[in-house]
């Protein structure tokens, strides 16, 4: 097992970051009931860990005994039947699924399957909680229609079922759903917290941490705990007696994007833009989400940019990201951003240096 999994807190008591939230959750559950919950926050901040710990708190250790099921559903939608395939993780008391996996037909998942699951009251009510829990991942990727169908389900079956929703950004969850849930924001852990966790792991593993080493990892980790622990382990594997100046291996795709950024800074022309397009395609092909590409690209470009341009460039990045989310073909918009940047930068260069 990787350290990420090994040192994952199993219970709410063990939580090292977000202790306050853990405490609140514990209190919430202790009162025998629990509203619908919506966890949101950036990736690597510990949403799922908290949810799992919460489930354990509610149902005891049996919540950890899950089985994977790959189920097929046939849904009668008017004049045709739709075949859906979905992977679920289920224990006796809860079901975990990510309805957005099925793509644009997620509406049916919500309308039929989730409803059906929510309807069935757990049989074993004696001495146990009288409700089951549905954990829905990536709710922000659900389509508008699916979210609308969801809100009715949430109300109707609230007696027998609690929903725990999990997503990265609450802005893409409709108001209606947000207002039906207790919203819990999970912040990205601060660097101090990350350092604390890393030192804890180091102690457990019996490692000698040079001073400042953990801080460097934390700094590089982008405040993602997962990434911090993974790169910590990577460093351990690369070279054990740590030196304080040890190189922390970067993420490959980030490296690649910074290469792209360098390309862009070097030359601004349609030809260069064409090369950039090829590289962006490479990234997208390897399943790196376009938003992240754009964000990272902006990050890399800002590093190398004059202060007076930063504001404008940020503005345009936001503009094109917005359009990218509205549209379909991410490459168009990323490219448009790059072109815009090139245009701005070139004009700036000409203005400054003649």
34 vs 260, beta carbon nearer other proteins: 260
102 vs 180, beta carbon nearer other proteins: 102
Select from 55, 11, 64 the least CA-distant residue to 34: 55
Query: Does the protein bind other proteins through residue 274 (CB under 8 A)?
Result: yes
Which alpha helices (DSSP H) does 189-251 contain, by range? 191-205, 213-220, 225-238
Query: Does the protein bind other proteins through residue 219 (CB under 8 A)?
Result: no
Query: Does the protein bind other proteins through residue 67 (CB under 8 A)?
Result: yes
Rounded CA gap, 266 and 318, in Å? 23
89 vs 158, beta carbon nearer other proteins: 89
Which residues, 143 to 202, sit near other proteins by CB under 8 A? none
Query: Does the protein bind other proteins through residue 94 (CB under 8 A)?
Result: no
Query: Does the protein bind other proteins through residue 267 (CB under 8 A)?
Result: no
DSSP single-letter state for residue 161: E
Query: Does the protein bind other proteins through residue 335 (CB under 8 A)?
Result: yes
155 vs 306, beta carbon nearer other proteins: 306
Strand bridging mode 132-137 / 94-97: parallel
Rounded CA gap, 87 and 71, in Å? 6
Q: Which stretch binds other proteins (CB under 8 A): 23-31, 76-84, 119-127, 323-331?
A: 323-331
Number of residues that bind other proteins (CB under 8 A): 80
**CB distance 34 to 80 below 8 Å:** no
Query: Does the protein bind other proteins through residue 227 (CB under 8 A)?
Result: yes
Q: Which stretch binds other proteins (CB under 8 A): 107-115, 149-157, 194-202, 251-259?
A: 251-259
Burial of 287 (0-12, 13-18, 19+ CB in 10 A): exposed
Angle at which helices 225-238 and 213-220 pack, to 10 degrees? 130
131 vs 256, beta carbon nearer other proteins: 256
Rounded CA gap, 241 and 262, in Å? 34
Q: Which stretch binds other proteins (CB under 8 A): 151-159, 186-194, 250-258, 299-307?
A: 250-258
Query: Does the protein bind other proteins through residue 300 (CB under 8 A)?
Result: no
Query: Does the protein bind other proteins through residue 307 (CB under 8 A)?
Result: no
Rounded CA gap, 298 and 334, in Å? 10
Q: How far is the CB of 273 from other proteins (least distance, A)?
A: 6
CA max distance for the chain: 82
């Amino acid at each position: 097992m990787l350290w990420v999994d090994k040192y994952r807190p199993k219970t709410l008591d063990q939580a090292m970051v977000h202790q306050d939230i853990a405490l609140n959750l514990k209190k919430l559950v202790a009162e025998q009931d629990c509203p619908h919950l919506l966890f949101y926050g950036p990736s690597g901040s510990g949403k799922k860990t908290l949810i799992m710990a919460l489930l354990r708190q509610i149902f005891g250790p049996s919540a950890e005994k899950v089985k994977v099921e790959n189920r097929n559903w046939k849904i009668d939608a008017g004049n045709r039947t739709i075949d859906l395939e979905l992977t679920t993780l289920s224990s006796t008391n809860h079901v975990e699924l990510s309805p957005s996996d099925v793509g644009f037909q997620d509406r049916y998942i919500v309308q039929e399957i989730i409803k059906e699951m929510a309807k069935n009251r757990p049989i074993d009510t004696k001495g146990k909680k009288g409700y089951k829990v549905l954990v829905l991942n990536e709710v922000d990727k659900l389509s508008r229609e699916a979210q609308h169908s969801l809100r009715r389900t949430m109300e109707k079956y609230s007696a027998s079922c609690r929903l725990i929703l999990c997503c990265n950004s609450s802005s893409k969850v409709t108001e209606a759903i947000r207002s039906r849930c207790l919203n819990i924001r999970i912040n990205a852990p601060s660097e101090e917290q990350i350092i604390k966790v890393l030192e804890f792991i180091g102690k457990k593993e019996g490692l000698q941490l040079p001073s400042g080493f953990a801080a460097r990892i934390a700094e590089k980790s982008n405040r993602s705990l997962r990434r911090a622990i993974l790169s910590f382990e990577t460093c351990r594997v690369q070279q054990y007696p740590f030196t304080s100046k040890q190189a922390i291996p970067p993420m490959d795709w980030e490296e690649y994007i910074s290469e792209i950024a360098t390309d862009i800074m070097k030359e601004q022309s349609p030809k260069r833009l064409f090369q950039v397009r090829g590289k962006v395609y490479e990234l997208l092909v390897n399943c790196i989400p376009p938003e992240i590409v754009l964000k990272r690209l902006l990050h890399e470009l800002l590093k190398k940019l004059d202060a007076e341009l930063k504001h404008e460039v940020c503005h345009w990045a936001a503009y094109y990201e917005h359009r990218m989310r509205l549209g379909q073909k991410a490459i168009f918009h990323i490219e448009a951003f790059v072109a815009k940047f090139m245009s701005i930068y070139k004009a700036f260069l000409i203005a400054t240096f003649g």
